[in-house]
Structure 1
Amino acid sequence: MSISDKNRKILWGKSGNKCAMCKHTLVFESTQNDNESVVGEECHIISGANKGPRSDSDFPREKINDVTNLILLCRIHHKKIDDQVETYPPESLRTIKDDHEKWVEDKLKDQPATPKVQIKRVKEEIPDKLPVINSGKEMFNLAAGACAFYNDYSDDLTDEEVDAVSGFIQNVKDWAELAREMEPSQRINASSDLDKEIKALRQFNIFAFAAVEKQKIVGGIGGESSFPVLHLSVNKANDSNVVTGE
């Protein structure tokens, strides 16, 4: 399992785009001829590899990619700590990490206060009816780019129906999160997979209903920006909770 996007964002945010050891900036600005250069690396304090640096068979496997087991370093110091494991045992690296994140926080306190970042809902954008989704392409296009998800499903499902519904909801979320980086051919394949699942749900008389709510991110230093949220309801046609458009 790889490091999640959430843990990456937390690590880079708390580290302030600086190496925890030398404090050098880890992303260099683009030039007239080239894109930005990223020289920062997300380093494991306890390695997930059996014979990796500071590996520990007693360390919980589910914690390997947790943000508490990660430290942000430049490439030079990443190599240094992995080459010199006796000089940089886990306890020392955790202290370096904690001290650095406190240093970043203290530096930021010296900056002018910025408005708190919040998600704002717009009443007119909140869907009160979710139209039925008839194809995988339609589902994928709605889900692609969604930043958050509101999910609903029927209560009285059999075990087989639960597997089908939960699998579909999870796949919609997974494809949505990957959509930005997918090639056209991959988008077509994803749409085809979702189409097959929608048809499989119909065998149980279960339908997918969905719509996108356009929320906003306000505050911070970047100004207002869009925050699309997907409403997805997977229900039996006779479920009392189903509300569909004409």
Structure 2
Amino acid sequence: MAHIIAASPKGPRANSALDPRVLALEENLILLCLICHKIVDSQEVQYPVELLQDWKSSHEARISSAFGARSFDRREEARSVLEPILHQNRATFDAFGPYAESSWNPLSDAVEIWTTRVREVIIPNNRMILRVLDFNAHLLSSAEIMLLERFRIHVDEFERKHVFGAISSSVPQFPEEMNQLLS
């Protein structure tokens, strides 16, 4: 792990005007192999801050694209990616969730099926929705940004409950307005 702007005042690409706490943030870090780290730090004129930030941004975009998230120019494009994921989550919730008909049968394996579907379908889908929306925040209104953050809280607490076993009766419900986002 390398600093884009050196953490020490005498390091490569140092900027003493910046708060040291800012220099420790993830935004100022880049992953490099040991050899590249030495080259980049020993030849700071050839490897300025802007170039390293471009490298990092390009790499993050490639990784996100590999996992299905990318930036769009139009709301309709982003919506066309989100809609099937939202539909799959809804169908899974309706078929296996806590209000599904089978969940009322004490002899059924509904709880186990729901737990499996949460981990295999809903959680990965929720993370994909967040990736797509984070990459396309430029398309969202301020009200939609607030909705996104409500959804993010739901996702985090839902995972805490279903993956880490956190016991909580106050997991925020899925914000139904998400079904209309970017429409």
Point out which structure has higher relative CO (alpha carbons under 8 A, 6+ apart).
1
Is the structural similarity TM-score above 0.5?
no
TM-score tier by shorter-chain length is 0.3 to 0.5
User: Please, what TM-score do these two structures have when normalized by structure 1?
Assistant: 0.31
Larger radius of gyration: 1
Structure with more of its chain in strand, by fraction: 1
